[in-house]
Structure 1
Amino acid sequence: MTQISRRALGPDVQKRIYEIFVDVLKEVQTSSEVQSLLEDFLTPTERVMLPKRLCIAYLLLKGYNHRTISSYLKVSFTTLNRVSTALKTGGQGYTLVLKRLQKQEKIEKILKQIEEGIVSMLASIGGPTQVWKHIQNEQRRQTYRNRKPF
């Protein structure tokens, strides 16, 4: 995990550096620029964990339990609890981003695939198969209802 230097910055300096960081993020405009920045800026582990946290937030908002999410995404309960706590104590950033993402069809498809993967995983573990079949059928019905004609 990321470590912070023992030599702490003053609160004013730390606040100003954070403001500059946020300004830099606001200036990034294209997805290739975002990808380039993240590849340079984040470690390989962070590039895996940050998207997983976003996915955890999505699945928690959808009502999946911690054990199911942990099994499917291969994350610890500590990570799950951290995201869950963030959602419960505010979570406005997660909620805002997820609502925007759901408006994009491409992202919606990926999130649906993740949900379907969880449903099929649970059915294969020996859960009540009829319940999961019902959930899958309901999801398919919603997909057809929400489908655009062209």
Structure 2
Amino acid sequence: MRTFADLADLVTLVEERAPARELYVRWSQGPEQDSDRRSRDGLSGVRLPGLSANSLAIEPWWGDRPLRLWVARRLHDYRHLRERRGPGTRPWILEGVEVGRGPDNEPLVKCHHPIGWIADDVLTECERLVDEHAATTWGSLDREGP
């Protein structure tokens, strides 16, 4: 599986696949560890009908804002999963189709094809980009605040 070494490579993929309805980001130890193709609800233990993932599809409300910023935001929003899911967890891109919604209303996806890992340098670039916009034009990204 290839590795996306910089954000520009990932943005190019999303651009080529626009509207990118079939591209998802999954945070796990990878396609081999997800070979049963089903996630499990962490609270109840129920096996879900697909893999928990997040879409890279560009929503109409995003308007004419930069695609690069959209992709950065999608990766930035779920970076906490690396710590929450433990060692070896990293983001990867898959091509698939939504088969349901999970307990947090996330897409549950049937993976048709794993596409590539996302390198740590990309995550660092995404964090920097989102932080720059949060400091100048966006509101607070504090999800734990009052």
Class of the TM-score when normalised by the shorter of the 2 chains: under 0.3
Higher relative CO (CA 8 A, sep ≥ 6), structure 1 or 2?
A: 2
TM-score normalized with structure 1 length: 0.27
- Structure with higher Rg: it is 1
Higher helix share: 1
Q: TM (normalized to structure 2)?
A: 0.27
